[in-house]
Structure 1
Amino acid sequence: MVIRQASSADVHAATQLLYQAGEQLLCSIFGNGDKATALDFLMSAWLHEAGQYGCNNHWLACEGNQPVGIITCWHDQLPADFDHQTLVSITEYFGIAESLNVIARSQHIAESLQSPDETQLGIGHVAVDANYRRKGVATAMLTKMEQLATFYGKQTLILDVETHNLSAIQFYQAKGYTKKGVQPPFLHMFKAL
């Protein structure tokens, strides 16, 4: 198992995994209930490379050349135009008018998520292909994020998990994460390094 930086060439397998990381939320926000539209947007954003859904800020767990897991992180040392590039990927795909609807649909979710401060590394978009679950893939990706946190001089890892995702909550607890609080639809968790 290799954990590597993602690239635009990973678009098909990676965006399927990315969609699995938050199916209901992503379908609602970017597809307005339509899975095909949400997936098509994720492919477009991935190829844009920069921003929240671009390949530049994602890592893949690979078995051979096949991506079987995905993860991303957020911290205070991201490119200065990170948020702008996220918005560009949305407006390029949806156009101005529909982009306003997308932003409106995402507002409640954005307000519920934790933003990392200068001492924290935020983890997100975690998903593992169903055929590779319980084989150490997610553990390897979390280890990679701990290494990045150390590299960036962070003291804490933070993440948000949907409150109904009990198996993920139990997994994170087994890996040393502690419940921090709830802001629906998310449970906030952290791990001190």
Structure 2
Amino acid sequence: MTTTTPDFDIRRLDATEYESAVPLLFSSGPEAFTWLYGNGDKLRAMSFLANSFTRDDTALSHNNIWGVISEGSVIATFILASKASAEALAGPGITQVFRYYGFSAALACSWRGIRLERSLPAPKPDCLHLSGIAVDAQFRGRGLLREIVNFADQKAYEMACSNLSLDVAKSNALAMAMYLHLGFVHQYSRPAPHKSVPGFHYLTRMVLDRDEE
């Protein structure tokens, strides 16, 4: 069967697109999201993501998430973060946790966040970091992942970053193979922060040179 890449646009998402965007975002790291924001409860974690997505002032706000749009529907999500942008959003992210959960539960969530940072630390200097990458199942195999990486590469070039970086769950061998095929290089692996969350492989790819016009 022949597959073709659908006509699409890539842009930052809108708060009204939470119904299609949040499940995709969650699917990019279900174990980590469930442990971090739900303490083992998937529905609670998704509820937190939906609440954060529809706000304008959180690390997981719609305006910090990019989407691939086809015929008015979100068919893929991803997040781009530099060291500076991640640091700028750290404070609002903590505020959102306390605002949503209340003091006691937020303290426990924050402690889990500290543990997760050992496996998923902030982006390194001179890197544009890709995360939250998810493609709707019915659109997989059509080259969208390559388009996302190419888009990120162009953004990294515009920001004068030398490398793209991303993390892949150790349990996701298919994704690992796809990123290696797209030119990423495995740098090292990090341990799991909890028994319910896989460890992660850290990959980088040099930003492509552009000929001066």
Category of TM-score, reference length = shorter chain = over 0.9
Q: Superposition pairs for residues 170-189 of structure 1, below 5 Å?
A: 170-184=177-191, 185-189=199-203
Post-superposition, which runs of at least 4 consecutive aligned residues in structure 1 deviate over 6 A? none
The reply to whether residue 129 of structure 1 matches residue 136 of structure 2 is yes
* Structure 1 residue 171 displacement after superposition: 0.5
Q: Matched residues in 2 for 1:79 and 1:122: separation?
A: 10
- Going from structure 1 to structure 2, the CA distance change for 1:68 and 1:177 (only over 3 Å counts) comes to same
Structure 1 length as normaliser, TM-score?
0.94
Aligned sequence identity (%): 22
Contact in 1 for aligned 2:83/2:122 (Cα 8 Å): no
Mark the runs of 5 or more structure 1 residues left unpaired by the alignment: none
**Residue correspondences, number:** 193
1:14 to 9, 12, 21: 21
Mark the runs of 5 or more structure 2 residues left unpaired by the alignment: 1-7, 192-198, 208-213
Match for residue 157 of structure 1? 164
Match for residue 119 of structure 1? 126
Structure 2 length as normaliser, TM-score?
0.86
Higher radius of gyration, 1 or 2: 2
State the AA in 2 paired with 1:188. Y
Q: Matched residues in 1 for 2:84 and 2:206: separation?
A: 19
Q: Deviations over 1:104-129 (max 9, x none)?
A: 12222211124323311111011111
The reply to whether residue 30 of structure 1 matches residue 53 of structure 2 is no
Q: Matched residues in 1 for 2:86 and 2:117: separation?
A: 19
State the AA in 2 paired with 1:189. L
Match for residue 101 of structure 1? 108
The reply to whether residue 60 of structure 1 matches residue 67 of structure 2 is yes
Q: Matched residues in 2 for 1:46 and 1:175: separation?
A: 29
More helix by share: 1
